[in-house]
Amino acid sequence: MKKMLPWLITILLAITLIVVAAFLLMDKIFPSDTNDVNTAVQNVETKKLSADEIVALTAEITDIKTNTADPDYILKVNIAFQLDSAKSKEEFEKIKAIKIAPLIIKAIADAKPEELNGAKGKDQFSSKLMNIINKNLTEGTITQIEFTDFVLASI
């Protein structure tokens, strides 16, 4: 029994370390981005707008080109933002180059190419952008984000 005690302690320590490491890495393996998506979906109220109203409330940011989290991939994107009021659009237009574009570039830099593939990936990314940008707007909120051009290519 005396000879087995160090072995038992070593085995228990190893099992404990494996469980702790698995618990800490669980968020990395299974990210919880769905909370952000659900929050964005709940905060958005949709109403039917005419084509003229949509054009009046929509602002665009074009020609954003930057690397993704994987430096072997580059993303070129044009984005249309629909805001909740004309005054919100005016405020958005004033800060889009100095405040909004850098936020988009940072979000792209954090995104992996696999996360951006498919309609679901683009929807999750647009929800993430909506949450980030709405927190930084001086007035009003973004109600919808659409990608008007989306090119993800390997370098």
Give me 133's structure tokens.
């940008």
> So what's the pLDDT on residue 66?
93
Average pLDDT, the chain: 87
Burial of 153 (0-12, 13-18, 19+ CB in 10 A): exposed
Rg (CA), the chain: 22
Q: How confident is the model at residue 24 (pLDDT cuts 50, 70, 90)?
A: confident
> So what's the pLDDT on residue 80?
96
Q: How confident is the model at residue 33 (pLDDT cuts 50, 70, 90)?
A: low
Q: What kind of fold does domain 34-154 have according to CATH? A: Tetrahydropterin Synthase; Chain A (3.30.479)
Question: 46-96 pLDDT, tens per residue?
Answer: 568 888 889 999 999 999 999 999 989 999 999 999 999 999 999 999 999
Give Cα separations from 89 to 19, 34, 38, 130, 153 (angstroms): 50, 28, 25, 15, 31
> So what's the pLDDT on residue 75?
93
Res 41 pLDDT > 70: no
pTM above 0.85, yes or no: no
Give me 82's structure tokens.
């629909």
More confident residue, 39 or 5: 5
